[in-house]
Amino acid sequence: EAQVTQNPRYLITVTGKKLTVTCSQNMNHEYMSWYRQDPGLGLRQIYYSMNVEVTDKGDVPEGYKVSRKEKRNFPLILESPSPNQTSLYFCASSKGQNYNEQFFGPGTRLTVL
């Protein structure tokens, strides 16, 4: 089954404790992206990757890091989480970056205390 998986689905952590949210897709998609969703603000792009070893900032990259060492995986790293990073996070992938449908993972709800 074609899908995007994210882990963990739920996470409660404390300020400053490094964490990684994993994202994996099995559709051989070149383009992958991370979004955060906050009430009243919709979905905002954090980082995106056009292919292996090619990543770039989206609209709200501060406090986040990503890497793309393999085509299927695109982890999101919060090296020193803060309460304002409490949010719902989605990973998405698509075939190529231009004008294509994005497939979303189930989401990760992160709470930073």
Partner 1 sequence: QQPVQSPQAVILREGEDAVINCSSSKALYSVHWYRQKHGEAPVFLMILLKGGEQKGHEKISASFNEKKQQSSLYLTASQLSYSGTYFCGTEGKTGNQFYFGTGTSLTVIP
Interacting residue ranges for partner 1, rule: CB under 8 A = 33, 35, 41-45, 48, 50, 56, 58-59, 90, 97-107
**DSSP result, 19-39:** EEEEEEESS--SEEEEEEEET
Cβ 25 to partner 1 shortest distance, Å: 13
User: What is the C-alpha separation between 32 and 14, in angstroms, rounded?
Assistant: 28
Residue 61 or 63: the one with the smaller Cβ distance to partner 1 is: 61
CB-based contact 45:64 (threshold 8 Å)? no
Tokens matching residue 104: 């979303």
Cβ 16 to partner 1 shortest distance, Å: 29
**Tokens 């603000």 identify what position?**
41
Residue 44 or 72: the one with the smaller Cβ distance to partner 1 is: 44
Cβ 71 to partner 1 shortest distance, Å: 17
Give the CA distances from residue 7 to residues 10, 32, 81, 102, in Å, rounded to whole numbers and listed in that order: 8, 16, 17, 19
Cβ 38 to partner 1 shortest distance, Å: 11
Residue 16 or 108: the one with the smaller Cβ distance to partner 1 is: 108
